[in-house]
Structure formats: C-alpha cells, structure tokens
Structure 1
C-alpha cells in the first residue's frame, strides 16, 4: 500500500470510528449477562462499591486497572489468565512485574462470591472494575458486556506485549492481530491520559535516542529540560512521570493526552509518534479537537474486552482469581 493510500485509509477509519459504533455485533458477550443470576442482586453494583472504596483511597488505581485489562486481553484474550499465581505465570513476565490492582480484584471477587458463589468470572470483574474506575475518573460510564469464562493456562512465555518504543506501523499490526483497527488502537492508547511511566522506558529520548548520541528532537525542548531533572542520566532510582503532562488532568480520563502529544509533549516514543505518523496523526487531531472522547474510548474498551473471550462450555468460573479450580492445570 502506498503512503498516500494508507493515509486515505486511516482518514476513512477516523470517520467510521467517530461516527459508527466501535465494536462488532457478533460478540458472544452481552450487556446485563448477570441479571437474574445472583439472587436478585446487582453484580455490577457490588463490584462498583469495591472499586469506589479503593478509588477514594488511591485514584491512581484507574490507570492500574486499565493497564491490567490491556495486559490480560493482549495475551490469549480476556480470560483473567494474568491473575493466576505461579512460578512461571504471566505475572512473572517482565512487562507484568509492575502491574497492580490484584488486591482490588480479589476483594471484588470475594464480595460477589459471598452472595452467589461460582457465578461471576474473574475476567468479567476485570472489565467491570476498569469501567467503574474510568467513570470515577471523569470518563463516561460505558455499558460493559459480560459473560466471559476464566482461562486455565497462564505462562510467562506467552507474554508478548507491544513495547513503548514500537513503531506506529508495527503497533497497528499488533492491534490488528487482536481484531482491533487503527482507530481502536489510538483510542486505547488514550488510556495513557492517566498513569505514569518509569524513566527507564523513555530515558533514551532524553539523552541518546536510538544510539544517535542526541536526544529525540520530536520532544519539546522545555519538556526535555524538566524531564532530565526528574530522570538524571546516571540515576540509581527509576523515577516516574505522568504520561499526561497537563498537571490539571493527569488523573482525569479525557482527551488531554492527545492535546499534549500535539504539542510534542508525549512521554513514550509511541505516544509522540501517534501525533506525527501519517497513519495516525489525523486521528489524533480529530480526537484532540472533539468532545466525545469518553464515548469513543468506552466503545474501544468494549471491543478490546471481547478479544478471544471464553464463553459457554469454554473455561471455568474460578473460586479464587489467583488459582484454577482443578489442581494441576494452568501453571
């Protein structure tokens, strides 16, 4: 495909994504799956109550839950395999060592198990919890589809997540392998509107970008100046910085992330390249200037939540999110 054709395709997808529904009608999941299945109790309200308690203590839990769902869904689909303990489970893979929020999911699982044991999957709890946290952080409350079963296999060797220095074209390919298009990708990376990144993930951009001996010239010089203070070249501590460099919205789920990348204030390489690459820059511009980010972000989250799900007779409903029900499976 020529560059011009690729740009045209990207622009066409912008309008499809902005004007149409972002997730397919063929999903085996459904909104309200648990209605009538839990002694008349609203399962989503139970999970929401747990998330609310956690959120008031630590509003950064939103970024943690978004990351958890992304890391789970991109490895063998949205089956809560990330939650399984084990010496060689997905948790032990390097990209997952900094994933957090497991205790919240445990608490939500315990709350629903106390009322209706063996009914609600851990995979669905991840999806519900992420949605609730997004809503509490100023994002829209999108309708979560449920009905997933939990997987029984979790192996670190299966973890192959897109790195922060991935090119836009390779990132598009990675998302396409999961049935997600370029518009979905750009919206989902908008989850970086909350959360932080360790200096080690972008330090080369400050000092020696791609072994050039020079910093990344696509980064704002003023931002680079302040980041060098936070991330000294020979630091012994791996500090963190906000992915959304607008201090007024770094904990709010909104389109500020895109506005910052338009100002060359993206932190991770992939963040900044989204605003510069011909395949995605027009999508970024559209999102940065529109007022429906919450709706479209929610639709992209629902679509990601349907990736390679286990339903019906597949998988199981775990009693504990950290272990499979049948001994000997999953590790």
Structure 2
C-alpha cells in the first residue's frame, strides 16, 4: 500500500473517531461556563421572576421536564409547535394539552439569545428551569448536568404511546419507566413529584363515577376522600382542578406518600404504588423516617431520567426559537 493511501486511510479513521467522540459527549456540570458564563444565572433569574408572580408555575415547569424526557429523551421535542409539515407534534397530544409554563421557557431563551446567541439548548433550559422553579417556590433542589442538544422530530403519536397515564396499573407504569432507563425505585421516588401541583377532574373522574366501566366508585379510594372529590368534580366537569397532594399541597415533601398510604392518592397510578412490594416498601420506609432520604433519592432519579438517550456533541441542533427547528 502506498504512503499516500495510508495517509488518507489514517485521516479518514481519525475523522471517524473524532465524530464518535463528539457524538458521545457526556453531560457535565457547568457545560456553558466558557461559552456562555451567565447561562445558568439567567435561567435562574428569569424563572424566579415568573415564580414570584405565579407560584403555580413551579409544578407546571417540573411536569414539563417529565413530559419532555419520556418521549425521545430530554431533547425539547415537547416544545415544537405544529406546522404545515407536521400539524401533530407532541404538544397537541391529549396528555400534553394541560401543560403550562411555555412562556417561561420562551422568555429564558429570548434572554439567552441576546447574551450568547446559538449556544444554550432549549432542552437544557427545560431541565434547569424545572429545578430552579421548585427551588424558588419550595426550597428543594437537585443537581442538573448540562450539554444537551435539541431534537428536530416531535410526534403526537409518540407522546400518546410513551407517557405514563394517570389510569395506569403498576405493570403499565413499570413498563413506561423501564423504557426510559428507570427502575422500580425510580418510579416510586419520582411519582412523589405529585406532592405539588393540581390535576383536572377528567384525569381521575373515572374513579368516581365509572370505575372499571361499571358505573361505580373505585373501592380502593378512601370513602371520605371520594365524597370530597365528587363535591369538587361533578360529572362531566372539565375545568375544575384539585390538589394532587391533599395533605401538604404547598410543600415539596412526602405528603404525597402519606396520602397514598391513606388511600387518598388522586390517580389510579398513585394507588398502584401500593400494589407492589418494592414501591410500597419504599413508601412506608419514607413514612417511618419522615422522608429522611427522599429528596436525595429524588435528585438521583431525576439525573437518571434526564441523562437517558440525550443528544450531545454534534447531534441535533441548538434551536434559535424553542418552538421551531432552525
């Protein structure tokens, strides 16, 4: 083989190896320290301003992190608006119709584009804003690694298929969580995000008026709690909301576990945590210890979720506007 051919082959191999390294880049702490030093401060400041004006946006922004990550990984595909080419993006899927907080993400992106255009991904903004919103409203926090890039595909059909449903039994929940690299422990840990926020009546009214299609009330619900929910949500009520955690709805704590243990979990998916030995055991251990490890466990499980199948390196893109591909 000639020296020229060897040089060409060596060059091609080097290019391939560099591409592999670029596309396998890990998420890190402070990814933007050199390219956009004020990035995380800007996210925090804009998020805090919105939360001070409307604290209900905190659980809404946390919910947005989950709905993004469970479909295609955390790639901001949840933010893509319908277009003539694709009028059925994730945001149009029924499970996403009650999502809120998009204006916060857009405001953060606008500010960042002024400071360091084309650098910070919408996918990272979602994760940082979700954490910062909870920290501002409730004082709880966890580590967020950065370095994600934005996806270019968003399909309502995938959201319908991949997002856990409030009507899920334990087996269905386990399958959805395993599909994004999460364990049974992660399932019970992250389910406690329901300790804050509200839910619309249709997401649980089937338990009140037509459980199992037989016209009755779910027997696993505490009777007094079922009576309260019926008072709040008469049949066919589409607009009323109810706290997901009836014990401590304004604290980021284990009140949710207390409610589930007392058969006051709002969703069928909440009640399902009592149907498995591992999830019930974890729940009971947190009750015994007053939530001694829950917040730490929550941070660990969040990290597992937001690192799963993300785009890094040269994959995807950095959107100029979060609602549209470049």
Using structure 1 for the length normalisation, give the TM-score: 0.85
Work out the CA distance in 2 between the residues paired with 1:183 and 1:256: 18
Report the CA distance between 1:237 and its aligned residue: 4.2
Q: Deviations over 1:232-251 (max 9, x none)?
A: 12x454311000002xx312
Work out the CA distance in 2 between the residues paired with 1:109 and 1:167: 38
Work out the CA distance in 2 between the residues paired with 1:226 and 1:96: 26
SS of corresponding position for 1:146: coil
Larger radius of gyration: 2
C-alpha contact (below 8 Å) 2:25/2:312 kept by paired residues: no
Q: Does 1:271 align with 2:267?
A: no
Q: Does 1:90 align with 2:127?
A: no
Q: Does 1:102 align with 2:98?
A: no
Count of aligned pairs: 295
- Report which stretch shifted further, 223-232 or 155-164: 155-164
Structure with a larger share of its residues in helix = 2
Report the CA distance between 1:111 and its aligned residue: 1.2
What residue number does 1:17 align with? none
What residue number does 1:34 align with? 32
What residue number does 2:12 align with? none
What residue number does 2:127 align with? 127
SS of corresponding position for 1:137: helix
Matches within 5 A, 1:174-185: 174-185=176-187
What residue number does 2:244 align with? 243
C-alpha contact (below 8 Å) 2:170/2:275 kept by paired residues: no
Moved over 4 A (4+): none
C-alpha contact (below 8 Å) 2:150/2:318 kept by paired residues: yes
What residue number does 2:158 align with? 158
Structure 2 unmatched ranges of 5 or more = 1-23
Q: Does 1:147 align with 2:147?
A: yes
Report the CA distance between 1:140 and its aligned residue: 2.7
Report the CA distance between 1:277 and its aligned residue: 3.1
Q: Does 1:73 align with 2:69?
A: yes
Report the CA distance between 1:27 and its aligned residue: 8.3
SS of corresponding position for 1:197: strand
Please tell me the root mean square deviation across aligned C-alpha atoms, in Å: 1.6
C-alpha contact (below 8 Å) 1:48/1:132 kept by paired residues: yes
What residue number does 2:211 align with? 209
C-alpha contact (below 8 Å) 1:190/1:255 kept by paired residues: yes
Work out the CA distance in 2 between the residues paired with 1:213 and 1:88: 33
